[in-house]
């Protein structure tokens, strides 16, 4: 049986994962409207990952006989000054998500909910990877500065990303 405090916190995290998906879809749209389809594709894959993350938590809540309560999703931004600004916002967002996951782990420890604590270990590892990937892209965009050629090369690189759902 899922602890009620943990259940409530997991429902908030589900909401935030869906918000993350909306944010990345908005970013994908921004890039595609600026003819950077590779970056747009990368963000669409990020969208798919976030939906996967939310559904994984939903499945866990159901497995533990909890109740999922979907909340309203806040409207994400839709305009940025540059590709670099998008990835700065992406990195900042992932840092927030990492903090939220860490808070969930802390709560599950406090509430003596070992199953949830164990479940969340996957998310901790995932966030390390998320932050590192985004930080790398952000660094490349900083190095590219105003080089259109480099930006277009990065755009081609981003188009190669593929979402492969992790196997548990």
Give tens-digit pLDDT for 38-68.
999 999 999 999 999 999 999 999 999 999 9
pLDDT for res 89:
98
With tokens 């952000």, the residue in question is: 138
pLDDT for res 72:
96
**Averaged over 97-102, what is the pLDDT?**
98
Measured distance CA(22)–CA(105) in Å, rounded: 25
Token pair in block for residue 145? 């500065």
* Confidence band, pLDDT 50/70/90 cuts, at residue 168: low
Instruction: Enumerate the domain spans of the chain.
Output: 4-158
Measured distance CA(105)–CA(28) in Å, rounded: 31
pLDDT for res 156:
87
What's the maximum distance between 2 C-alpha atoms anywhere in the chain? 56
- Decide if pLDDT at 147 tops 80: no
- Decide if pLDDT at 129 tops 90: yes
pLDDT for res 124:
97
pLDDT for res 59:
98
Measured distance CA(70)–CA(16) in Å, rounded: 10
Strands (E), 7-161: none
pLDDT for res 61:
98
The hierarchical CATH code for the domain 4-158 is: 1.20.1260.10
* Confidence band, pLDDT 50/70/90 cuts, at residue 159: confident
Helices and strands of the chain, counted as H and E runs: 5, 0
In 3D, which of 48, 50, 29, 51 has the Cα closest to residue 40? 29
């Amino acid at each position: 049986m899922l602890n009620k405090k943990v259940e409530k916190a997991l429902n908030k995290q589900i909401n935030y994962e869906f918000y993350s998906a909306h944010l990345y879809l908005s970013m994908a749209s921004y890039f595609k409207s600026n003819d950077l389809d590779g970056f747009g594709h990368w963000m669409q894959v990020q969208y798919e990952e976030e939906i996967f993350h939310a559904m994984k938590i939903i499945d866990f809540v159901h497995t533990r006989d909890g109740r999922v309560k979907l909340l309203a999703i806040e409207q994400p931004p839709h305009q940025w000054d540059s590709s670099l600004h998008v990835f700065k916002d992406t990195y900042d967002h992932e840092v927030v998500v990492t903090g939220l996951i860490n808070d969930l782990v802390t709560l599950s420890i406090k509430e003596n909910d070992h199953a949830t604590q164990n479940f969340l270990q996957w998310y901790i590892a995932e966030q390390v990877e998320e932050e590192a990937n985004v930080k790398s892209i952000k660094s490349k965009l900083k190095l590219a500065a105003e080089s259109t050629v480099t930006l277009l090369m990065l755009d081609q690189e981003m188009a190669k990303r593929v979402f492969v759902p992790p196997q548990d």
